[in-house]
Amino acid sequence: MNILIYLVAAAVIGWIATEIMHDRGGLLINIVVAVIGAFLAGYFLSPLFHIGTINDAITIPTMLVTLLGAIILLAIVRLIRRRR
């Protein structure tokens, strides 16, 4: 049951991130973006803000940190696409 809640939260965060960055993706892409964004946020942003990610607990602050990580991930992907 916890994995289902985690995937739903990741899908919502990924969808919000793709909407903010005006990037289109399907449900699977949204989940992947949020999960990778959570790992990026956990590595770089959590020590700065002293807040965990959705990997730790699903709360509003952790979802915001994960959203920020997903947005950063999408910005990096966009920069890589432009160079090609």
- Segment 16-58, tens digit of pLDDT: 888 888 877 777 877 888 888 878 888 888 888 888 777 777 8
Nearest to 62 by CA among 72, 73, 52: 52
DSSP state of 6: H
In tens, the pLDDT along 58-83 reads 888 888 888 898 898 888 888 888 88
Counting DSSP H helices and E strands in the chain, the numbers are 4, 0
| pTM: predicted TM-score of the whole model, two decimal places | 0.82
Residue for token pair 């947005």? 71
Contacts of 57 (CB under 8 A, 6+ apart): none
